[in-house]
Amino acid sequence: METIRFQLRIAALWTIGAAALVFLGCGSGTQTAHRPASVVGDTVLSALQHEAALRHFIDGSTYELKGEFAQAALEYQEALRYERNHAMYYVLAKCYSALNKPALAIEAAREAIRLAPDKVEYHRLLGDVSAAAFDLDAAAAEYEQVIAMDSSSIDAWYNLARVLQPRKPLKALEVYDQLTTRFGPQWDVLLQVAELANKLGKSDRAAAALREMTLLDPGNRELKRTLAQTYARAGMSEEALAVYNELHELDPGNVEIQAEIAGIWLAKKDYVRAGKTFDEILAQDSVSADVKVRIGELYFSQIDKDSTLIPITQAIFERIRDKYPKDWRPYWYLGGVASTKKDDSLAVRSFRRVTELASWNADGWVFLTFVYLTKNDFTRSVEILESALKAVPDDFRVNFYLGVAYSRIGRNQEAARVLEHARAINPHDVDAVAQLALVYEGLKKIEESDSLYEEALRIDPKNHLVLNNYGYSLAERGIQLQRARTMAEEALKGDPNNASYLDTMGWIYYRLGEYSEAATYIEKAISKGEVSAVVHEHLGDIYFRLDKPERALEQWNAALQLDESNSTLREKIQRKSL
């Protein structure tokens, strides 16, 4: 329509221009004789340029109508060589947009707006192409301009909310609310509100939107079920039951609805009513394994709140396991139940079975490993994770935990290999970068280690573990000690009672020659409970510097009991000095 209007305007202007030329050429001789030749020449030239622009514009419009946007764009570009016109830039921007060239479309649309800032359709187009180019802030600005110029544009309101949604969800909700207030309930708008509110954890807000949707489509059962589920998540159990009961009356044989009703009773701790319904469902052979597993999941989700449900949950999954012995899911939940009740034997059996039935499931391998990692059994952890690596070679967690386990048993070369892979999978994971820095430090690759510590701090400048480890590394080398102290101070702010962090601070003070301060921190570290041999050795070194040789020997001996293979420590004790 805009193209047609533009053609009519150009044709009208051309008619007027042609008439003027005729008038100038056929008027009285006196008038013509007195007109400067240059003015007449300029007028003729302008008319010729105008005619050329019109010709290319018409050709471009023809190509555009046929969907030949590349050829149309070329014709519009030619037209612009003869006459710069805002409408020409607008149609050119539309062609670039159709050709999926957003940068060129944006450039042309901006020029159209510069020449004619009051054209609302130009701002609308720039908003659209900016959104297509993922420049959401620019798109939002244009849609806001459209609304300022034409507040009745429902599309502009909707598009504004959509581009705000990814980064400014709360503001997007406000726009959706304004849209609903102005134009009344709209299905698409309410759907977006419900989805957005759910993502923000505003289940009550999502439920309100879904309720409005059911009024627009009262016969939609799936929508009503979603509403009931949302009510349940919002803790509005009575509202949820009201909707579920309505659905149950419409479809009394639907076991999934029955299960969800029983799930609400379970959340309300009405275990008798919930248990009766669940038992009836579990006993039916015609009910799928999926439904039965979901029943178990409902119980599993409650055991953190009520430990009395642990045996019931375990019995349900044992029942499902016996019915479906090749389904990995009941073993997974049995492993979770076992971990909750600290039954390592059952946890190992269950998670092991998950790895056998679903080797592709990295969770099974990881949680099986956790049983051993929590007991510091790194050798067994390595065995499991090496098998996991064959099944899921690109799982971040498998590579990361294997790297940790390798490093703890002194296999730093292998640790570096898998940690490098973990870092490649997730380059922004600060734990992987920091662990790799620690491994390279152990391999005496100090330059690589320092580079990784710096990278970790760029990712998370306040990470107290990284600050502690890097600070200790610098202290061990006796360099950048003031910076190391600042790092240790920040680490202790994050975890003031961490014995390792206290030892790091004490050792930095030792390197600075402030032995009394050093003793204060490391004595506090030892008072926190079990510490490593290194901490006792540090305190022994500090006492020796404080001219307390007997106390130094006590600490060195305590360290030797924890690390009998330490020949350097043994030599200190034998010579009774550093």
Query: What tens digit of pLDDT does each residue of 284-302 get?
Result: 999 999 999 999 999 999 9
Is 193 inside any structural domain? yes
- Answer with the residue of higher pLDDT: 36 or 256: 256
Residues of the chain above pLDDT 70, percent:
92
- The distance of Cα 376 from the centroid of its chain, to the nearest Å, equals 32
Is 37 inside any structural domain? no
Mean pLDDT score across all residues of the chain: 90
With beta carbons less than 8 A apart as the criterion, state whether 334 and 318 touch: yes
What is the predicted pLDDT for the residue at 45? 57
For the chain, the domain total comes to 1
- Domain containing 220 equals 185-252
Q: Is the pLDDT of residue 25 over 60?
A: no
What confidence category does residue 526 fall into, taking pLDDT thresholds of 50, 70 and 90? very high
Is 231 inside any structural domain? yes
pLDDT tens for 409-424 read 999 999 999 999 999 9
What is the predicted pLDDT for the residue at 31? 34
pLDDT tens for 182-238 read 999 999 999 999 999 999 999 999 999 999 999 999 999 999 999 999 999 899 999
Is 347 inside any structural domain? no
Phi, psi (rounded to 5 degrees) for 271: -65, -25
Is 232 inside any structural domain? yes
What is the predicted pLDDT for the residue at 52? 86
What is the predicted pLDDT for the residue at 23? 23
What is the predicted pLDDT for the residue at 43? 60
Residues contacting 104, CB < 8 A, separation 6+: 96
What is the predicted pLDDT for the residue at 46? 77
What is the predicted pLDDT for the residue at 309? 94
How far is residue 1's CA from residue 487's CA, in Å, rounded to a whole number?
67
What is the predicted pLDDT for the residue at 44? 57
Length of the chain: 578
3-state secondary structure of 327: coil
With beta carbons less than 8 A apart as the criterion, state whether 203 and 233 touch: yes
pLDDT tens for 318-372 read 999 999 999 999 999 999 999 999 999 999 999 999 999 999 999 999 999 999 9
What is the predicted pLDDT for the residue at 454? 97
Torsion sign over Cα 342, 346, 348, 352: negative
Q: Is the pLDDT of residue 244 over 70?
A: yes
With beta carbons less than 8 A apart as the criterion, state whether 387 and 365 touch: yes
Is 227 inside any structural domain? yes
Residues contacting 195, CB < 8 A, separation 6+: 206
How far is residue 320's CA from residue 295's CA, in Å, rounded to a whole number?
10
DSSP at 482: H
What is the predicted pLDDT for the residue at 15? 28
DSSP output for 378-391: HHHHHHHHHHHHHH
Q: Is the pLDDT of residue 27 over 90?
A: no
pLDDT tens for 28-82 read 333 333 344 444 445 655 778 888 888 888 988 899 999 999 998 999 999 899 8
Lowest mean pLDDT among 15-29, 32-46, 403-417, 464-478: 15-29
What is the predicted pLDDT for the residue at 49? 83
How far is residue 576's CA from residue 578's CA, in Å, rounded to a whole number?
7
* Section 256-276 average pLDDT: 93
The 3-class secondary structure across 195-258, one letter per residue, is HHHHHCCCHHHHHHHHHHHHHHCCCCHHHHHHHHHHHHHCCCHHHHHHHHHHHHHHCCCCHHHH
442: which 2 tokens? Answer: 């152990």
What is the predicted pLDDT for the residue at 16? 26
Is 242 inside any structural domain? yes
Q: Is the pLDDT of residue 531 over 50?
A: yes
Residue 226 identity: T
- Answer with the residue of higher pLDDT: 98 or 31: 98
**CATH assignment at residue 243:** 1.25.40.10
With beta carbons less than 8 A apart as the criterion, state whether 548 and 519 touch: no
Is 433 inside any structural domain? no
Q: Which residue in this structure is represented by tokens 């059996």?
A: 349
Torsion sign over Cα 470, 427, 352, 322: positive
